[in-house]
Amino acid sequence: MPKNTDKGALTEAVYYILLALFEPTHGYGIIKFARAITNNRVILGSGTLYGAINTLLKNEWISIEEIQNDSRKLYVITDKGKDIVDNEIARLKELAIHGEGVTGGDIYEENIL
């Protein structure tokens, strides 16, 4: 996982993992969540996800909620993780405002809606 979290920015993978874990979810659930919410744009590889989850557990941004009967682990976001997500959303909004301020266009409405 890239270490650019030091600068405040999260990678897309980390951002969607944290969002997925607002509901306790296992690994495959995280991959499915990221695919569904981004319309198949963000596809997390299981090896990438494994590394990211271990780093997030160490940082205490997520924790293990429970271990299911089939020994699969359910992960969940912690309060610390939720703060990180709030900060990231604020940062992303700022980026969008700066971008639109310069280009003058509302990209979201033009291209997506």
Partner 1 sequence: MKKIFCKAMFSNFEKEESWLNEMAAKGYNYTDNFIFRYAFEEGKPGEYIYRIILLEKHHNHYESHKVIKFIEETGAECVYATMGWAYFRKKTADGPFEIYTDPSAKIAHYKRHLYLSIVLFSVNAFLTIINLNLGIIRKSPGNFIPAILTAIVAIILAYSIYLYAKRIKELKKEKILHG
Tell me which residues touch partner 1 (CB under 8 A).
1-2, 4, 9, 11, 13, 26-28, 31, 35, 43-51, 72
Return d(Cα 22, Cα 78) in angstroms, integer. 9
Instruction: Tell the smallest beta-carbon distance from residue 83 to partner 1 (Å).
Output: 21
Return d(Cα 88, Cα 91) in angstroms, integer. 5
Instruction: Tell the smallest beta-carbon distance from residue 33 to partner 1 (Å).
Output: 12
Give the nearer residue to partner 1 in terms of CB position, either 51 or 99: 51
Q: Look up tokens 């979290």; give the residue.
A: 5
Give the nearer residue to partner 1 in terms of CB position, either 46 or 106: 46
Give the nearer residue to partner 1 in terms of CB position, either 1 or 19: 1
Partners of residue 74 on adjacent β-strands: 66
Q: Helices 12-20 and 27-37 sit at what angle, rounded to 10 degrees? A: 110
Instruction: Tell the smallest beta-carbon distance from residue 109 to partner 1 (Å).
Output: 25
Return d(Cα 1, Cα 53) in angstroms, integer. 9
Q: Is 109:43 a contact under the CB 8 Å cutoff?
A: no
Give the nearer residue to partner 1 in terms of CB position, either 9 or 19: 9
Instruction: Tell the smallest beta-carbon distance from residue 27 to partner 1 (Å).
Output: 5
